[in-house]
Structure 1
Amino acid sequence: MLRKNLLLLYLLLLATLVIIIGCDKMKDKAKEDIAPEVAAFNPESVRPAIEEKNAVFAKAMVSGDTTALVSHYTDDGRILPPNGEAVVGKSEIAKLFSGYAKMKMAEFKVETVLLYGNEDNLIEEGKFFIGDGKGNTIDKGKYICIWRKVGEEWKCYTDIWNSNIPLPPPPPPAVKK
C-alpha cells in the first residue's frame, strides 16, 4: 500500500512538472506570436535625410526661394521666431520667409548637433550661422526643430531659434530740456 501511494505520488509530481514546463514554453511561444521583437529605432539612421533637408533649406535661405522654404514644413507647421509671435500654417510661413528673402543673405549654414526621438517624431538640436560673405558674422545661434514623418518624408513641424549674439544695450534716456 505504501509502495502504491509512493508510486502515485511520484506520478503526480512528474505530471505536475510536465505541465509546469509545458505551460512555461507556451508562455514564451505566446510572447513570440503576440509581440515579435521590433528593432529599436535609431535616430542617427535618419541623420543623412535630415542633413539633406537642411542643406536644401540653407540654399533656399540664401537664394530667397520662399517656395522651397515653405515646403520644408508640415501643412500645420509652426515657427516660433525670436521677438515675435508664433507663425502657424504654410500661408503664414510664406509671409514670414518673404520678409527674410529681402535680407539677401550671402551665407546661411546649419549644423545638426543632436537627434533624438522615434520613427514618427524627431527632435533636432542644432547651430546656425548667417554671414555676409566677406567673413563677417551677421548672426549665429542655436535652434530646435521638431520633425514629423509625413508619408515617407521628414518635414519640420515646429521650428524655434535664438541668437548667441547679445542684444545691444538700450539707448540712454532722453534728456529733458
Structure 2
Amino acid sequence: MSFDTVDKINREFEQAYNNGQVKDAVNTYANDARLFATDKQIYEGTSQIEKYYTSARAAGNAKVELHTGQVIQCGSDYLVEISQYKINTDGGNYVVVWKKDGGNWKKIVDIFN
C-alpha cells in the first residue's frame, strides 16, 4: 500500500512538473519541507522549493522521471522512499522522507544527487 501511494504521488509530480505546473508539483511537499539539491543548497519551505524548480525548468530541465524504488514504512505517519530520477538525459538517486499530513502524504525532506 505505501509503495502504491508514493508511486501515485510521484506520477502526479511528474505530470505537473513536465507540464510546467511547478506550483502543483510543489504541492506534494509539506509547507515546512526541506529540499537538499545538487547545487549544495538547502531550500526550506514550499516558496523556496517552488523557486528552485522554476529555475530548474528555466535552465532547460523540463522533463523529469521518478522511478519509485523502495518504500519503507516507519510507523503509521512516516515513510522513507529510496529511488532514482532522470532529468532530461541526466539522473541520480534520491531519498524522501514522507509524513502523513491531515490524511495526505507530503514530502518533508527530499535529498538528491
Aligned to 2:38: 82
Q: Which runs of 5+ in 1 are unaligned?
A: 1-44, 132-136, 163-177
Higher helix share: 1
Say if 2:111 is the partner of 1:154.
no
Say if 2:42 is the partner of 1:93.
no
4+ runs of 1 displaced by more than 2 Å? none
Cα offsets for 1:31-76 (capped at 9, x unmatched): xxxxxxxxxxxxxx22111111000111122122111122010010
Residue identity (%): 26
TM-score (norm 1): 0.59
Aligned to 1:5: none
Q: 1:62 aligns with which of 15, 18, 37?
A: 18
Higher strand share: 2
Q: Secondary structure at the match of 2:93?
A: strand
TM-score (norm 2): 0.90
Give distance in 2, aligned partners of 1:104 and 1:87. 18
Q: Which runs of 5+ in 2 are unaligned?
A: none
